[in-house]
Amino acid sequence: MKRALVTGGAGFLGSHLCERLLRDGYEVVALDNLYTGSRSNLASFSGSPAFSFVEGDVIELDRLAFGGSPLAERFDEIYNLACPASPVHYQSRPVFTTKTSVFGVLNCLSLAMRDGAKLLHTSTSEVYGDALVHPQNELYWGNVNTIGVRSCYDEGKRVAETFVADHVREFDVDVRMVRIFNTYGPRMHPQDGRVVSNFIMQALRGDDITIYGDGSQTRSFQYCDDLIDAFRAYMELPKERVRSFAAEHGLGAPVINTGNPGEYTIRELAEMTLALLPESKSRLVFRPLPGDDPKRRRPDIALARELLGWNPSVPLREGLAKTIEYFRNTQKA
Amino acid sequence: MKRALVTGGAGFLGSHLCERLLRDGYEVVALDNLYTGSRSNLASFSGSPAFSFVEGDVIELDRLAFGGSPLAERFDEIYNLACPASPVHYQSRPVFTTKTSVFGVLNCLSLAMRDGAKLLHTSTSEVYGDALVHPQNELYWGNVNTIGVRSCYDEGKRVAETFVADHVREFDVDVRMVRIFNTYGPRMHPQDGRVVSNFIMQALRGDDITIYGDGSQTRSFQYCDDLIDAFRAYMELPKERVRSFAAEHGLGAPVINTGNPGEYTIRELAEMTLALLPESKSRLVFRPLPGDDPKRRRPDIALARELLGWNPSVPLREGLAKTIEYFRNTQKA
């Protein structure tokens, strides 16, 4: 039985990954400090004998992996997902956010070296920052401010990629990196301030649905299950294939974008949300656009398609319906 | 008597700073792991009763500052200069390089909080990377690869700036940052692979002077004493002035460029070196230009001029003569 560690395992994406790994026959250890994750995300599978949960911080992973802890035994696969990922969360404790990225990836790299394990490290489309090219492919270097209020997340994630790339070159660690574009689904944090959760929560409460600007700015929306499929497919590949593919494409380290390239305007998203909640009394209201709102963001996923034979398959309407169902049940409970 | 800590104090710039602080009446503690620094850089002042040297790594600064160590007593000013800064050095141990930037700045920030001290953190023009605008001012966000062979230095320095900016915002630490452009002078490492030391060493040995490309690419050269003047002037300013100046200029944290905006072609530098060494038998030879060689790099120092009333004052010919003198004496010894 293969053993996997999922850092951030009680979070939105981490919990879906744990569930999937259990279904795939793994023994799974989830590590989470419950800063944005929650035990309720684990409820549907925490009773499984193949699952264990360690409440702790990835920053302290090296100190938590002592004898007797499930972290002390050998892992075959490590998935590093731990980091607050929405501005409302990551900006409230910026130094802690950057430390989570930096110490988190270093601890996971050490653990991967200890165990000879594969490591999947989750990076983000935010490494591209306020991108000057559209769509962004993996060769784009990004446009990021080092000293702004978003830097704690963006630069922490950027230097984590650097640590990964140099651990591959210097110590031959078997790492795969994924730059995740906007992803939604059940177990999103209801107060994370993102547009999907905002719209659904407003619609469920019958509040006005707030659109910033005229709603013509576009976004792409990846359903969580599609992303988890990509994680698993990437991790299944042999190290040699992962390395040679990166080299062939001129990349300094194995990294692929994952996201859904379908573009929707914010207004379309709001209207689709209301259409799925016909009983809602909410109406669309328009507010001034904040200065730093990007006009477009869309992933180029040609590399993931080629390397993984993967394609996002869940249509927005279907994923949105599942997400609404989740929020409806959560709010009742 | 004010106490100052200089990390990287046995390095090229650190040793000049120690010397200057001693002259200004400070008690000075230098911390250096001697990875690129050397005791010989300290020779002219290490006998001073106001000076102490701690051989150790800035990565371990928190563990070195125990009772009895000169690091355990309160500092008024901390200057964080520790980091290998030339590609030949920083690329030989890339993970260590990034850790030096990351753990180094975090340890210095902690020490500054412990002591209520002022911290001057040295950043670099490399945060601008392969710049798309010329000259670079402090508002430019840079163009840096996260996963290339130079990333260990560039991204480590970038995230160090982020840690500084957020420690200012979150914990009100009194920090000033300097982005240092190409600087030269006595005590440069003779094998650091930079153009000034390369040309001088080749000319002194009578070897061919190697120019990559046709030598028309330009560089700017700041003499070390000019930079030390800027450090001292910046550190003398009250915190309020430093903060308000940054805010007025739309910067998320106090940071200024320092460099010499005078532009010289590489060919001019080679010819000037030979003119200062008329006895040299060296001739200029031209080799193919490596792919990643920037065509131009020139600092915009308007902010430093305005804030510090500072201007680089040492002409290239004069600084070059002093540097040649230094290398001549070193090679004899």
pLDDT at A294: 67
Indicate the angle between helix axes B266-276 and B195-205, nearest 10 degrees.
Answer: 40
Instruction: For chain B, state the CA radius of gyration.
Output: 19
Residue B147 lies in a domain: yes
In terms of domains, do A101 and A205 share one?
no
To 10 degrees, the CA torsion angle through B162, B165, B171, B177?
Answer: 110
pLDDT at A291: 65
Residues of B taking part in catalysis: 153
A95 and B171: CB-CB below 8 Å? yes
In terms of domains, do A37 and A144 share one?
yes
pLDDT at A299: 95
Positions of chain B with pLDDT lower than 50, given as ranges: none
Q: Which residues make beta-bridge pairs with A183? A: A222
pLDDT at B324: 97
If we measure between CA atoms, which residue out of A295, A288, A211, A300 comes closest to residue A258? A300
Distance from CA of B292 to the nearest CA of A (A): 14
Considering only CB atoms, which chain A residues are within 8 Å of B93? Answer: 170
Question: How far from chain centre, in Å, is Cα B3?
Answer: 21
If we measure between CA atoms, which residue out of A190, A196, A224, A242 comes closest to residue A13? A224
Which residues numbered 52-71 in B keep a CB inside 8 Å of some CB on A? none
B155 and A159: CB-CB below 8 Å? yes
In terms of domains, do B274 and B225 share one?
no
Gap between the Cα atoms of B220 and B222, Å rounded: 7
Q: What percent of chain B has pLDDT over 70?
A: 98
Tell me, yes or no, if A128 is annotated catalytic. Answer: no
Residue B75 lies in a domain: yes
In terms of domains, do A241 and A319 share one?
no
Collapsing DSSP states into helix, strand and coil, what is residue B163? helix
In terms of domains, do B133 and B118 share one?
yes
One-letter identity of residue A112: A
List the single best residue of B128, B130, B152, B162 to mutate versus A (max A Cβ within 10 A). B162
Gap between the Cα atoms of A185 and A9, Å rounded: 16
- The verdict on A250 touching B (C-beta cutoff 8 Å) is no
Whole-model pTM over 0.90: yes
In tens, the pLDDT along A48-100 reads 999 999 999 999 999 999 888 999 999 999 999 999 998 888 889 999 999 99
The parent domain of residue B207 ranges over 195-220+262-297+314-332
A165 and B159: CB-CB below 8 Å? no
Residue B31 lies in a domain: yes
Question: How far from chain centre, in Å, is Cα B133?
Answer: 22
In terms of domains, do B27 and B11 share one?
yes
Residue B13 lies in a domain: yes
Distance from CA of B43 to the nearest CA of A (A): 35
Distance from CA of A213 to the nearest CA of B (A): 24
Question: How far from chain centre, in Å, is Cα A249?
Answer: 24
In terms of domains, do A79 and A93 share one?
yes
pLDDT at B281: 95
In terms of domains, do B232 and B131 share one?
yes
Find all residues with CB under 8 Å of A223, minimum gap 6, and list them: A183, A184, A185, A260, A312, A314, A316, A318, A319, A322
Find all residues with CB under 8 Å of A238, minimum gap 6, and list them: none
pLDDT at B333: 62
Distance from CA of A94 to the nearest CA of B (A): 6
- The verdict on A333 touching B (C-beta cutoff 8 Å) is no
Only one residue has tokens 């003047």, namely B229
In terms of domains, do A88 and A8 share one?
yes
pLDDT at B293: 66
Collapsing DSSP states into helix, strand and coil, what is residue B59? helix
Q: Tell me the CA distances in angstroms from B142 to A142, B131, B134, one per residue in order.
A: 9, 6, 11
Interface predicted TM-score (ipTM): 0.95
pLDDT at B297: 77
In tens, the pLDDT along B161-202 reads 999 999 999 999 999 999 999 999 999 998 888 999 999 999
- pLDDT tens for each residue of chain A, 333 residues long: 999 999 999 999 999 999 999 999 999 999 999 999 999 999 999 999 999 999 999 999 999 998 889 999 999 999 999 999 988 888 899 999 999 999 999 999 999 999 999 999 999 999 999 999 989 999 999 999 999 999 999 999 999 999 999 999 999 999 999 999 999 999 999 888 899 999 999 999 999 999 999 999 999 999 999 999 999 999 999 999 999 999 999 999 999 999 999 999 999 999 999 999 999 999 999 999 876 666 777 899 999 999 999 999 999 999 999 999 999 999 776
A95 and B165: CB-CB below 8 Å? no
Which of B210, B234, B258 corresponds to the end of one domain?
A: B258
Gap between the Cα atoms of A326 and A267, Å rounded: 22
Nearest to A95 among B147, B161, B166 (CB): B166
In terms of domains, do A94 and A227 share one?
yes
Residue A16 lies in a domain: yes
Residue A67 lies in a domain: yes
H/E stretch holding A220: strand A218-220
**What is the distance between the terminal CA atoms of chain B, rounded to a whole angstrom?**
36
Indicate the angle between helix axes A94-115 and A151-171, nearest 10 degrees.
Answer: 20
- The verdict on B313 touching A (C-beta cutoff 8 Å) is no
Q: What is the CATH number of the domain that holds B203?
A: 3.90.25.10
Q: What is the CATH number of the domain that holds A60?
A: 3.40.50.720
Backbone angles phi, psi at B224, to 5 degrees: -55, -40
Give long-range contacts, CB 8 A cutoff, 24+ apart: A196-202.
Answer: A196/A221, A196/A269, A196/A320, A196/A323, A197/A327, A199/A269, A199/A270, A199/A273, A200/A273, A200/A320, A200/A323, A200/A324, A200/A327, A201/A327, A202/A282
Gap between the Cα atoms of A43 and A7, Å rounded: 17
In terms of domains, do A57 and A106 share one?
yes
pLDDT at B38: 96
Q: Which residues make beta-bridge pairs with B219? A: B264
Nearest to A166 among B98, B163, B251 (CB): B98
Gap between the Cα atoms of A45 and A28, Å rounded: 11
In terms of domains, do B163 and B29 share one?
yes
Domain total in chain A: 2
Residue A305 lies in a domain: no
A161 and B149: CB-CB below 8 Å? no
The length of chain A is 333
Considering only CB atoms, which chain A residues are within 8 Å of B179? Answer: none
Residue B303 lies in a domain: no
Gap between the Cα atoms of A192 and B220, Å rounded: 47
Collapsing DSSP states into helix, strand and coil, what is residue B31? strand
